[in-house]
């Protein structure tokens, strides 16, 4: 059974502040690490797919890093805005094939004006 | 562009009744298809995936089954629902491999009473 852990479980951040949270995953049999944003009443939206140790990806004010040797990834949000409020999910793929993703429980982010 | 549909959006069913949830994808051919469930207080859990018509892989033993009668149609079923089947069901598709983004449908909220 693969174990993907995310911390913290929830986070309150003031608008304009920067924040980050963590995803830890098995360091063996790594193939890919996915980040999704899930807003209430919407479908999960893909942010990043990361495959290489040391990968760093950026999309606007959001960026992510990957350490496959120690089994963790960080997601950073710079200058948080109210529209960033969502649950952020990471998901691990160990097979490389069509088998599905193992998700963490998510970090629920609330941006306070 | 590709779109993914799920119906119904919400469903309330008595214990012991049958279930059929449908997912269809448009704008792509031979997608990988997935069923996930989020139960209360838990993360998204992969239930089934399919790489082609009639090909179903089950991730966890359960009261549910899946079928893929057509290339872009994925159905989740149960003959007799249990209380523990309540949750939010998401269908997703991807192109090929574990590095490919999975795109999620709008989901079905199932409540079993």
Contact A77, A19 (CB under 8 A): yes
Residue A99 has pLDDT above 80, yes or no: no
pLDDT tens digits, B50-109: 999 999 988 776 789 999 999 999 999 999 999 999 999 999 999 876 678 899 999 999
* Mean pLDDT of all residues in A50-76: 96
- Whether residue B107 and residue A34 make contact (CB cut-off 8 A), yes or no, is no
Contact B19, B2 (CB under 8 A): no
Q: If phi over 0 gives left and psi between -120 and 50 gives alpha, with beta otherwise, what is residue A16?
A: left
Q: How far is CA B69 from CA B22, B59, B73, B76, in A?
A: 11, 20, 7, 11
Pick B97's closest partner by Cβ from A4, A91, A96: A96
- Please give the share of chain A, as a percent, with pLDDT higher than 70: 96
pLDDT for B99: 72
Report the range of poorest mean pLDDT among A67-76, A98-107, B12-21: A98-107
* Mean pLDDT of all residues in B42-47: 90
pLDDT for A3: 86
Please indicate if any CB of chain B lies within 8 Å of the CB of A111. no
- Mutation pick from A98, A99, A101, A102 vs chain B, by most beta carbons of B within 10 Å, is A98
């Amino acid at each position: 059974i693969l174990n993907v852990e995310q911390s913290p479980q929830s986070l309150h951040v003031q608008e304009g502040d920067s924040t980050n949270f963590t995803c830890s995953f098995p360091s063996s049999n790594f193939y890919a690490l996915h980040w999704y944003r899930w807003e209430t009443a919407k479908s999960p939206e893909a942010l990043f797919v990361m495959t290489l140790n040391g990968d760093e990806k950026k999309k606007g004010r959001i960026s992510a890093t990957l350490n496959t040797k120690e089994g963790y990834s960080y997601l950073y949000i710079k200058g948080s805005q109210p529209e960033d409020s969502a649950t952020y999910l990471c998901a691990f793929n160990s097979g490389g094939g069509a088998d599905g993703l193992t998700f963490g429980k998510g970090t629920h982010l609330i941006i306070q004006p | 562009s590709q779109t993914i549909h799920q119906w119904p959006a919400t469903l309330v069913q008595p214990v012991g009744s049958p279930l059929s949830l449908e997912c269809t994808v448009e704008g792509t051919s031979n997608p990988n298809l997935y069923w996930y469930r989020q139960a209360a207080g838990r993360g998204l859990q992969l239930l089934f995936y399919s790489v082609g018509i009639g090909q179903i892989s089950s991730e966890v033993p359960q009261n549910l089954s899946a079928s893929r009668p057509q290339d872009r149609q994925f159905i989740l079923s149960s003959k007799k629902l249990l209380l523990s089947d309540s949750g939010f069901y998401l269908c997703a598709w991807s192109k090929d491999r574990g590095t490919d983004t999975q795109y999620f449908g709008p989901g079905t909220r199932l409540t079993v009473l």
